[in-house]
Amino acid sequence: MRLALLGCGTVGQEVVRLLHEQSADLAARIGAPLEIAGIAVRRLGRDRGDLPVDEELFTTDALGLIKRDDVDVVIEVVGGIEPARSWLVEALHAGKSVVTANKALLAEDGVALHEAAAEGGGDLYYEASVAGAIPLLRPLRESLHGDRINRVTGIVNGTTNFILSAMDATGAGFAEALDEATALGYAEADPTADIEGFDAAAKAAILASLAFHTRVGAADVHREGITEVTAADVASAQAMGCTIKLLCIAARGVDPTGRETVSVRVHPAMIPRSHPLASVGDAFNAVFVEADAAGQLMFYGQGAGGAPTASAVLGDVVAVSRNRLAGVRAASESSYADLAVRPMGEALTRYHVSLDVADRPGVLASVAGVFARHDVSIATVRQGSAGGSPGRDGAELVIVTHVAPDAALAATVDELRGLEIVRSVTSVLRVEGDA
């Protein structure tokens, strides 16, 4: 079984190392040895540590490598949309099996890749694209196929989870926690893709597609990052017995016309500390699945890093190699359900709102009236002295709502901001997970 490796960065180097260290085990598990046919890189001669491979295997001609007749499996760990897309489409059309860790490409253009795989007759595996080493796609693709998944809630970005965990533990603000994450190597020099939720949104699209047998692309995902999360938000969450996580949520629902829908979103939210996702700390990832018969499931592990990602890549390489030796291919993705993706405004969410209000009679009535006008039902109200400003004239109102359409909740907050008696809206966060 001959492999073409596209890319030789952190993950690629770990793939090479694991292939070397485990070669006897891998051969036994597959029934044939794995051999590297070539490694495509952008520049030759770059220092890649003391990789246990022949220098002659490196090439800058990725397309030439892919097209070689003696290549069975193409492993792509380059990332990004182009040239990865052209390479993989070429490989799949040529009947090669493909293993990729490229979440951005899958979320952007997974349909084209799946079609190319179906035409060429090879496999397309991508376990490493979501939540790194955590075996997640296979359970969703296969183990839960006899069940009906209702909701997937995940912490799928390690950088933001590290930052939010640090804010929760130390009371630091976002900027300070981001600096720490950067210093420790948990955040990249340009952290935009992580902190603005782009990375999580791509993974949410992949998870939703699998869980609901429906094509969901990155553009279908409502996305909010964590840059607006403040130390005051974290304190509010703690006062509620909650912690703040950047969640990706894909939920089955029914729209007002009775049609089944799916809503897919990424945003920070408060969850109760008793929720299994609350204790997922540092840069770990976890995905919580709720299904009709199986009930609650959670998958937990390292979401990034060279070795964990390489582990997931190699698991896929073993699977597609076995399939090729047996002359079969895995069941293709199914998107038969074809559920409509619901806009964020219609998604059902709950809000936690902290207000700094004037301390005088009638304030609560006015505030409650705004919620009522938008048809939003209030679950709890807590009144205290103005947060962080002891001795100041004023009061703090903390309101948690029942579920309502997100647009109604957002409109409620907008109107609250305009009330004369509301001095400021100190914290607005969605709330997920039953206490």
Whole-number minimum distance, CB 404 to its own copies, in Å?
30
Q: How far is the CB of 307 from its own copies (least distance, A)?
A: 4
Residue closer to its own copies by CB (options 79, 281) is 281
How far apart are the C-alpha atoms of 162 and 321, rounded to whole Å? 36
Report, in Å, the least distance between residue 385 CB and its own copies: 34
H helical segments located in 254-296: none
Least distance (Å) between residue 49 CB and its own copies: 16
Active-site annotation, residues: 203
Side chain identity, residue 392: R
- In this structure, how many other beta carbons lie within 10 angstroms of the beta carbon of residue 408? 19
Centre a 10 Å sphere on the Cβ of residue 148 and count the other Cβ atoms it contains.
12
Minimum CB distance to its own copies smaller for 97 or for 427: 97
Closer CB to its own copies, 156 or 319, in the complex: 319
CB 377 within 8 A of CB 387: no
Which tokens belong to 167? 């804010």
Q: Which residues pair with 251 in a beta bridge?
A: 151, 263
Q: Which of 129/354 has CB closer to its own copies?
A: 129
Own/partner long-range contacts of 255-262 (Cβ < 8 Å, ≥24 apart): 255/340, 255/342, 255/346, 259/340, 260/337, 260/339, 260/340, 261/339, 261/340, 261/341, 261/342, 261/346, 262/208, 262/212, 262/214, 262/216, 262/339, 262/340, 262/341, 262/342
Closest approach of its own copies to the CB of residue 271, in Å: 14
Backbone angles phi, psi at 399, to 5 degrees: -120, 130
Binding residues (CB under 8 A) for its own copies: these are 14, 18, 22, 25-26, 28-29, 127, 133-135, 138-139, 142-148, 213, 276, 279, 291-302, 305, 307-308, 310-319, 322, 326, 328, 331, 334, 336-337
Nearer to its own copies, 317 or 357 (CB): 317
- State the CB neighbour count (10 A cutoff) for residue 257: 7
